[in-house]
Structure 1
Amino acid sequence: MLTAIIVLAAAGLALALVSALATQIGAVLIQRAFPPRGRMIDVAGARLHVVELGPRDAAGPPVVMLHGASSNLCAMQPLGDRIAKTRRVILIDRPGHGWSTRERAEDSTPAIQGRMIVEALGKIGVSRAIVVAHSWAGALGLRIALDFPDRVAGLVLLAPVAYPWKGGAGRYNDVISTPLIGPLLAHTITLPLGYLVANSGARGVFAPQPMPDDFISDSATSLLLRPREFIANAHDLVTLKAAVVEQAPRYAEIRAPVIVISGDVDKTVTTGIHSRPLAATAPNAKLILLPGVGHMVQYAAPDLVASEIEAMAGKLVQPAATADKTVPANL
């Protein structure tokens, strides 16, 4: 019996070591396949990867694009490329994601990340911007507007998280954000398992729309499977609910114009919990509901999203009064 236990323990240790080695090799290969596209900006507690597009001297405020969870700036680049034809566009890997790093995985809240992003924007000469934010970053964009109102000319929120929801952020994220156990799993089994489920997971986020054929490679989704980013992403998700509980009572303070664009069948960030109440609370908000659309609204309706950003930018060059309204969109 003792011999059998020793053999099993040795086999388990050998498997863990092999998995850890495979993870390290895999992480190196992923980074070679998806190198950074922009420059690095050092801020307090982080080093942020920033990609700039479009003419720097374009009229009106620049457009800053922030990606959601389990993602990086590449997921926003197709939309950014459209806007960059006429506007200065700044894509940012959120702290801990893509090629951005952060000193502590626990620096996961919209308040902390918002401070880091505003500092980075200041270092590249952006004092005021239109913030376009998707999903998790919806809470981030809202927090920036609350904490730095003079820095936000307008908000365009795509399927945003804004309020607390029933349940948590998923058992696996809870485990990964746990000390000792989480890093052990992240450095052994997360990458090989992630390769098996990445495609199906992404398809689920796009549903009911089909996922673009090259989305996994074009969006550099595999970067998420690196241990340090997977751990950071888990912390972002498990701390988000408490963060929106704290900031949601302040949304009526937001004076910048807000456009909320959401799909009415979004099963990732439910419109009835987030977008509808937000549009009813923020004083200068407009809600656009996309019938039959899921979570990835910038891919399902890119022309509409781009036109709303352009319209907001145009009004900010020549300010005009904004009225609250809900617009059912016809695709």
Structure 2
Amino acid sequence: MSIGWIIALIILGLLGLNAWMVFKTWRIKRRVEKAVPPRGKFIDISSGRLHYVDRGEGPAIVMIHGLAAQLGNFDMGLIDALSRDHRVIALDRPGMGWSERGEEVPANPRAQAAQVVELIDALGVERPLVVGHSLGGAIALCLALDFPQKTRGLALLAPLTMRGGKVAAPFHALNVKSRWMRFVLSWTLASINSIRNTALVFGYVFGPEEVPKGYSVQGGGLLGLRPVSYRNSCRDFLASARDLKWMAAGYGGLQVPVSVLYARGDRILDPDLQGTQFAQQNPAAIRLSLIEGGHMLPVTQPDACESFIREAEAGSAGIGEHDAADQGRVV
């Protein structure tokens, strides 16, 4: 057999393999969308159609989820608990869950904060308490810095706040700068590898805690297997640190109280850098609480998060009384 025929057979084999991966990814996408359909309403903002839930009555709380996630992360007990006496609005960030975001729409935290404000204004919400988890914490901080009149305070769960620190292993696969490479990977290797590496990734994201039963559907975890989720998670990851220098320069002038909850065993973000050192930027405005656990507090410890959020809203965050002892307080 000539070398030309060998090369041709190799090319045909690769094309066949890619076709199989695209078909398998399409089947995964269909099953995921059937298992986890939209659970809320839609509204049009500048980034496209936005999906959100709006439950309960009373003082408003707006909830912003983290990287590669969606509003289901707050819907494993936390939304229901708070909506007994609050109006709770949780959104799929643009590009995540069931929300749209075009490639031309910016993905940096400051831009996403402005998009959240669009939702707040469109729904006629008056100065809500803003809850942010992980990357959602960075977005909430940008909102407070750019639009302090739009919120009465922040309650941040394991937030991204400071520059520096190591990138956790599960996020290395999101460091894809080429738009076209992101598209190709999203329809070939991304979903398949995510399923294959589930135990390893969950060990970082949830550890040292266990993954709660029901996370895949009620917590929305399966939606991360959709090709569009991978592509937009890559964009969010690449843009996540873009505003941190600007943010840090403004921490001393925060105009709203900020409460922060971190778990000592967090394997995604460093509680000392992102929690303790952040709180030291403005002791008069920022209060830090530490508990045991990992990064996915809204999912693994909704009761502790509920208590923390209610305490933050009640104004018992001790503004002006923050000290070293507060940093070790267990909620």
Out of 20, 28, 33, the residue aligned to residue 18 of structure 1 is 20
Cα deviation, 1:16-64, whole Å, max 9, x if unaligned, reads: 1221122223212211211101111111122211101112xx2x3x011
Please give the alpha-carbon distance, in whole angstroms, between the structure 2 residues aligned to 1:181 and 1:154.
40
Given that 1:165 and 1:241 are in contact with CA atoms closer than 8 Å, whether structure 2 keeps it comes out as: no
Structure 2 unmatched runs, 5+: none
Structure 1 gap ranges (5+) = none
* CA-CA distance at 1:288 after TM superposition: 0.3
Distance 1:225 1:301, change over 3 A: closer
Show the 5 A alignment for 1:150-229.
150-168=149-167, 170-175=171-176, 177-229=177-229
CA deviation string 1:162-199 (max 9, x = no partner): 11124557442122x41322211111121222222234
- TM superposition shift of 1:300: 4.6
Tell me how far apart the structure 2 counterparts of residues 298 and 221 of structure 1 sit (CA, whole Å).
Answer: 13
Query: What's the C-alpha RMSD, in Å, of the aligned pairs?
Result: 2.1
Opposite residue 107 of structure 1, the aligned amino acid is P
Query: Would the alpha carbon gap of residues 301 and 19 (structure 1) be closer, same or farther in structure 2, given more than 3 Å must change?
Result: closer
Q: CA deviation at 1:220?
A: 1.8
Following the alignment from structure 2 to structure 1, what is the Cα–Cα distance between the partners of residues 319 and 276? 22
Please give the per-residue CA displacement for 1:191-210, whole angstroms capped at 9, x wherever unaligned.
Answer: 22222223442243111122
Give the whole-Å Cα distance in 2 for the aligned partners of 1:264 and 1:321.
Answer: 23
Relative to structure 1, the CA distance from residue 168 to residue 269 in structure 2 (aligned partners, 3 Å threshold; closer, same or farther) is: closer
TM-score by length of 2: 0.91
Number of positions where the alignment pairs a residue of Structure 1 with one of Structure 2: 323
Name the amino acid aligned to 2:285.
N
1:123-164 Cα deviation digits (max 9, x unpaired): 111131101111111110100001110001110111110111
Does the residue aligned with 1:274 lie in a helix, a strand or coil? Answer: helix
Judge conservation of contact 1:65–1:80 (CA < 8 Å) in 2: no
Shift of 1:253: 1.8
Distance 1:192 1:242 in 2: 30
Deviation at 1:237, TM superposition (A): 0.8
Give a deviation string over 1:83-138, Cα, whole Å, max 9, x none: 11111111110111001111227621111111111101111111311011111111
Contact 1:105 1:232 (8 Å CA) reproduced: no
Distance 1:301 1:185, change over 3 A: closer
Q: Who is 1:54 aligned against? A: 56
Instruction: Tell me if the contact between 2:49 and 2:100 (Cα under 8 Å) persists in the aligned partners.
Output: yes
Partner SS, residue 216 of structure 2: helix
Greater Cα offset, 183-192 or 23-32: 23-32
